[in-house]
Structures are given as structure tokens and as C-alpha cells.
Amino acid sequence: MAVKAVGTWVAGFCETGRSDIGGRRAIAGAAGPNWRSEVSTVGGRLERAGVCMKPVEDVKPMKDENFSSVPPSSEVDGEAGNGGADKQLGKLNRDLPSGLLPKPLSLTDLTVSSHGSNVRVAYQGCPGAFSEAAALKAYPRCVAVPCEQFEVAFKAVELWLVDKAVLPIENSVGGSIHRNYDLLLCHRLHIVGEVQMAVNHCLMTLPGVKKEEIKRVLSHPQALAQCEIALSKLGVIRESIDDTALAAQLVASNDLKDAGAVASARAAEIYGLKIVEERIQDTPDNITRFLILAREPIIPRADRLFKTSIVFTLEEGSGVLFKALAVFALRNINLTKIESRPQRKRPLRVVDDSNYGTAKYFDYLFYIDFEASMAEPRAQNALAHLQEFATFLRVLGSYPMDTSL
């Protein structure tokens, strides 16, 4: 088996490493301002390590912020971290004049170009969503751009409509957001940072409506699940909405006197609702982790805490997953997350064994986060070792860790 080492990360440039495994080539990833795309043939198909898009006229990609200067999460939940957005939006009444709120991007909006000197950050949801707060925590003076769906946020970055996207990837209570794991592989964006934010679920109603008068509560399914105990005591009907902030908007705009919403305190202020109870989540330490995505990767460093995210596939065999994880343990690299997702295009792998007959196995993609920078030799050596038995390997990003919590 011919194996080439993973590309060596140097200041300013990284050349993608490839390995020929059974007639196929695996991609290790690329980074740096002079980064270039690598193409390899996998089973007769072209696999690209990344796409370096040329910006449209007058739109310049933004430099990454220094994450050491990120303000505390308490500033985001209040007024200090939103860059004056609260003063601009004002406190809306129940009538909600449509001109005061930005309209979420939809798929039909993705052909329109965007101009401006401020960093534009896409998030999924409406103004007042927790994802908006995460975007403002990462980039306090950014222009936060709401999007209807996760995929719209990905495409908005690819089409140069925005500079970054901030999207949730896991919650300490609800677990992983599987849709975003799948989209990471479907799109050629790079993880350039992370944001960890405490989530405070508030129960809110129209002004003058008492908590005992609520017959139903609207919110996102995960928010409803995270407030199971409090909602069970109320004995209310739960209605699922695509976004927590959208739930607050619906209660206000439709004058629903028999309904409440579970959303952020900022959403209550934006839509003119009254908070009847705060922190109704079952677990007080409710943390959501968000990823910051960009068109180009950042240059990894070794002088601060970095995290690296990868995705790979393995052949079926005894102990093969153990071998994959051992490459990190042998080099004292801590794994912070392991997630497996079925391959949609090839969900089943058929193995014909003459001794035991034909067997069918689920074919998985393995996502791993580990605490090491791709600037470190131990990380480079670990991935070179992993390539010896991985059928596919891609670096999703090497980025600074958020240690603000």
C-alpha cells in the first residue's frame, strides 16, 4: 500500500496531502492564503478538497476576527454586545410594522448580490433568535443576516452574499444538529471558529395575559423538549415552530391571548411581549455550540488553543474504528466529539463472504473534533497515520477554541 503523508502546514501555505488507497485517493484538506484546490479520482468520480471562488466585483472577503477579544456572553443577552441593534429596531408593539425588521433570506433571494463594508454574518431564524445572539457574540459590530433555512445560510456564504455564517452544531441537552453535519459535507465551506453560548429560555405572552391563562405554547421542537418539566406543570398544548423568535413573532402579530412562546429575552423585547417566567429550561447549564463558517480557511497556529474537525470513512473490518481512534490516543490528542452519520448516497455496504454468505452493513461517515492545531506535527502525523486505512478523509477546519464560558 502506497501512502503519502498529510500535507505539511507551514506559515502562509499548505499543500494538500493525498494517499493512494486501493486505487482511490483520500483528501486531507488545505489551508492558507495561497491555498489551491486538489482534485483526485475516487471510484471514477472527481473529489475536490475545496473550491476557491473568485469574489464578485466590489465585494472583498473579510479578515477573521481575533477570538481572544470576544465579549462575555452576558453582553449578547443584554444590550452591550449587539452593536446598537436594539436601538435601531426599537421596541415593537403587537402590530409589528414589517418595515422595521429584516426579512429572512430565502432560496429565491440568493441570486441578489450584496455590498457593504461591514462584516455580514448569516444565521438561521428571525431577529431575536439564539443564533443571532451567537453571531453578535462572535462579531459584535457585524450585520446579522437572518435566513429561513440552514442551507440558505450555507449558500449565502458560497455566493458572496455574506462573509460568514454562524450555525448551531450541538446542544448540551438536545445533542447534535444532524442537518448541519450533513450540510458540512455537501458544501465546500471551512470552519474558522466556534461560539459557545448559554441558552436562557423565557416564557412570554402578550401584555396583560397571565401565565395561568395560557392554553398552548409555541416554540422550536428542541426548545419545547428542553423545557419539558415547566411546560408539563402548566398543562399546555405544545406547538412546534421552525424558530423560537418566529414563535414570539406569531404570538404578537396574531394577537394570540391564549398562547405563549418560549424564546430569548431579546425576542420578547423586539416583539413587544411580556416575560412571565425566565430560565424555564430543565437543566440550568444549557449550552449551545455554534460553528463559524467561511469560504476560505484560516492559517492554523500553535501559540493558542486550537481545535480541528475532520470527517472520514472506513472499510468494514474487525477493529478498524479502534485503529482510527488509536492514532490520536498514541499522540496524546484529546477527542472532544465523535459523531457518526450514514452515507446518504451509499447507506448500505454489501459484503460477500464465502464462509458466512452475504451481509449488509450500514456505511457511516465519522466526524471527529480533536484538541490540536494542524500547525502541530502531532496532528499532521495523526492524520497521516489515519490515511493508512481511511477510504476518505477531509479536514473541515482548524480553528481557535472558544473558552469564554
Kindly state the helix (H) or strand (E) to which residue 245 belongs, with its residue range. helix 244-253
Is 288 designated active site?
A: yes
* Residue carrying the nine cell digits 465519522: 366
Residues paired with 205 in a beta bridge:
274
DSSP 212: G
Whole-angstrom distance, CA of residue 396 vs CA of residue 388: 19
* Residue carrying the nine cell digits 490520536: 328
DSSP letter for each residue of 229-243:
HHHHHHT-EEEE-S-
The catalytic residue among 67, 130, 290, 306 is: 290
The catalytic residue among 16, 205, 244, 288 is: 288
The alpha-carbon radius of gyration of the chain (Å, integer) is 23
A 10 A CB-CB count for 331 gives 16
Is 290 designated active site?
A: yes
Residues 6+ apart with CB under 8 A from 66: none
Residues 6+ apart with CB under 8 A from 85: 136, 144
DSSP 263: E
Contact status, residue 265 vs residue 275, Cβ threshold 8 Å: yes
Give the angle 279-285-289 at the CA atoms, nearest 5°: 110
DSSP 269: H
DSSP 138: H
Contact status, residue 204 vs residue 260, Cβ threshold 8 Å: yes
Q: How far does Cα 3 stand from its chain's mean position?
A: 32
* Residue carrying the nine cell digits 435566513: 147
Catalytic residues: 288, 290
